[in-house]
Structure formats: C-alpha cells, structure tokens
C-alpha cells in the first residue's frame, strides 16, 4: 500500500514537472536566443518591419492608431491576427536534424524577415518566418543568430502563421470606402448614367436636408433624407485589385454602374462603380447580360478618388444605391399600382 502511494505521488510530481516545463504558456524550455518568438508585452511594440524578396513594409504605432508605410491606416483584421500570433506563438521544438538543411535552404529562399521595435525605437526581436511545417498546422521560424530553426505553433489555432506576416501592402491597407458621420456630410451626388431618372443630389443644409430634382406635386419625405445621410458609415470593400493584370482595361471597358460623390468640410470623396464581368465565381442566378456580355450582379469594381481600384459587394452598397423615388413614397406607391 505504501509503495503504491509512493508510485502515485511520484507520477503526480513527474506530471506536474512535465506541465511546468513543456505545456505552460508563459515560458519555454528553449533558450530565448534560439526560440524567443513570442512577445508578451505587445503594448511596448512601436514599430514592425516586414520584408521578403518581393515586398517590404513598415507598421508604425501613432496616436491615432497603426499605419502602414507612414501613410495608410492599417486593416484591423490584419493587425489583430498579427498581434495574436506575436503574443501566443510558441516553439514546439527544433526542426529534426534530418530535415535541418532542407528547412534552412527553404528559409533562405523564401521567408519573411520580421523586425520588432520597442517604445524607444530599439530593436527588441528579429526572426524569419518560413512556410508551413510538414504537418501543415505549424510554421518554420528561425531567430536571427540562432543555430537551428524551430517548428512554431499557436494554441487554439490549426494552420500555419505565414500569412499573418505578409509584407504585401494590400494585405494591410484599410479597405474603407466611406466612413462619414451624417452631420459631416454637406452634399451627396448619386449619378446613374444608364438611368438618369434615378439620379439625385442631396444637400444637407442645417437640420433640413433637401433633394433635387424634385418630383412636381409629390412631397419629399424629409425623414428618409436624414436616414439616408446615416448610410455612409463603415462602407468597406472586399479588397484591392491594384496591379492585377489588365485591370485598367477591364474596368475602363466595362459599363459604368454609378458614381457616388460625397462632399464634406474636409473635401470630396468619389467612388466610380463599374460592372464586373462574370467569372468562374459567378453563379448563373447572380449574373445578367449587357450587350451580349455576362456580368456579376453581386460584385463591382470601384475606383476610389481616381487612385485605387477595389472590388466591392452589392450587398454592402445596396443601402446607398437607391433611386431618387425612394425619397418620394407616394411616387413609389403610384408606381407599384401600375
């Protein structure tokens, strides 16, 4: 009985030690010089530099939030996933000796260099992020100056971490098209080149917005005008398509859908929408024909302020892309009776 109790106590002690050294989250049995991939004090990070053989960018903390390349606001989803990895990634173990040379060669040929800087501008960490490990659920990483690469995982996540460290600009740029408070809007112009009867201009003068042109003899619904001004918050694109092969010719030769122009005290923002040709992603019910060509009814191209070309979804823009008659309920009712 005494021996059995001794065995149980010994087993419990060994299990506790195993947990302490191998499983706990905050520390590692591996040297930080060789495998210090996680950063627990992410609030101390002031700048991150990401680079590979093709792209490079810098993420910088500012008083108004994170920006990429000192110019563009950072996409919140990309920021969140990166910092989740920086905080929680941990070394599972060094790459087996038999695979060491192959992994090192792969890291040399294709990896992302990650440089982390602290509040005072000092470099606090540098490591290289490779591709997925052999199990496709972890990632090869190498600390700068380390002798061996490691297999790195993230608790609660199945997959590899490489995409979180992308140095491609358009993976980081915020995709906001419009995010304007209603009280800041001075004028909205919505132009439908193929249906000019639906076009309108909404002017916000004080508490009484106005729309033109009017519909003779039909009263305007002022409450709907006010509601419409509130539709320009959090209007986002699906993604950037700048630099895509032949994108300029694809857009400029496509039928124009609509032009949205918003004027505030800070300036004017314009989104030009063009129909997008149907692709393999387009299902038959979501397509329509213009001049014998098939187009996607769920997605369009948008040129924002004559600078960036984005892919946008009809679902996101639907509440904005209204006809003029929406502000004249009686006209809509009369039309429905016909």
Taking the C-alpha atoms of residue 115 and residue 216, their distance in angstroms, rounded to an integer, is 65
Taking the C-alpha atoms of residue 195 and residue 298, their distance in angstroms, rounded to an integer, is 19
Positive or negative, the Cα torsion across 66, 72, 73, 76? Answer: negative
> In Å, what is the CA distance from 72 to each residue of 54, 79, 233, 265, 338?
20, 13, 19, 21, 50
* pLDDT tens track for 275-323: 988 876 665 566 677 777 788 888 999 999 999 999 999 999 999 999 9
Taking the C-alpha atoms of residue 143 and residue 309, their distance in angstroms, rounded to an integer, is 38
Least confident of 31-35, 128-132, 268-272: 31-35
What's the CA dihedral at 323, 325, 326, 331 to 10 degrees? -150
pLDDT at position 25: 41
Residue 17: is its pLDDT beyond 50? no
pTM: 0.78
* pLDDT tens track for 66-98: 999 999 999 999 999 999 999 999 999 999 999
Q: Which residues of 199-208 are buried (b: 16+ CB within 10 A; e: fewer)?
A: bbebbbeeee
Instruction: Select the more confidently predicted residue: 167 or 333.
Output: 167
Instruction: Select the more confidently predicted residue: 26 or 263.
Output: 263
Q: Do 213 and 153 touch, CB atoms closer than 8 A?
A: no
Taking the C-alpha atoms of residue 197 and residue 254, their distance in angstroms, rounded to an integer, is 21
* pLDDT tens track for 197-254: 999 999 997 778 999 999 988 999 999 999 999 999 999 999 999 877 778 888 888 8
Q: Where are the domains of the chain?
A: 29-171, 176-337
Which class for 71: exposed (0-12), middle (13-18), buried (19 or more C-beta within 10 A)?
exposed
pLDDT at position 7: 56
């Amino acid at each position: 009985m005494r021996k059995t109790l001794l065995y149980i106590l010994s087993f419990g002690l060994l299990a506790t030690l195993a947990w302490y050294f191998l499983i706990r989250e905050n520390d590692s049995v591996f040297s930080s010089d060789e495998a210090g991939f996680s950063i627990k004090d992410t609030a101390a990070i002031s700048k991150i530099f990401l680079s590979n053989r093709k792209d490079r960018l810098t993420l910088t903390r500012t008083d108004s939030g994170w920006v990429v390349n000192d110019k563009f606001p950072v996409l919140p989803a990309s920021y969140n996933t990166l910092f989740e990895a920086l905080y929680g990634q941990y070394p599972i173990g060094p790459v087996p000796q038999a695979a060491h040379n192959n992994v090192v060669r792969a890291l040399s040929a294709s990896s992302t260099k990650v440089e982390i800087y602290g509040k005072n501008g000092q470099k606090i960490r540098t490591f290289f992020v490779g591709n997925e490990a052999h199990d496709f659920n972890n990632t090869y990483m190498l600390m700068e100056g380390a002798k061996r690469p490691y297999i790195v995982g993230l608790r609660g996540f199945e997959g590899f971490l490489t995409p979180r460290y992308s140095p491609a600009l358009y993976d980081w740029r915020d995709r906001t098209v419009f995010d304007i408070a209603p009280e800041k809007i001075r004028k909205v112009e919505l132009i439908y080149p193929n249906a000019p009867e639906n076009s309108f201009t909404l002017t916000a003068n004080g508490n009484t917005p106005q729309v033109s042109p009017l519909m003779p003899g039909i009263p305007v619904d002022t409450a709907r005008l006010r509601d419409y001004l509130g539709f320009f918050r959090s209007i986002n694109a699906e993604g950037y398509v700048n630099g895509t092969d032949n994108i300029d010719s694809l857009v400029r030769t496509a039928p124009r859908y609509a032009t949205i122009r918003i004027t505030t005290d800070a300036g004017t923002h314009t989104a030009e929408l063009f129909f997008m040709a149907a692709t393999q992603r387009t299902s038959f019910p979501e397509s329509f024909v213009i001049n014998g060509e098939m187009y996607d009814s769920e997605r369009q191209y948008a040129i924002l302020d004559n600078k960036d070309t984005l892919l946008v979804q009809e679902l996101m823009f639907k509440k904005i892309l209204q006809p003029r008659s929406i502000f004249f309920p009686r006209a809509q009712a009369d039309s429905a009776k016909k």
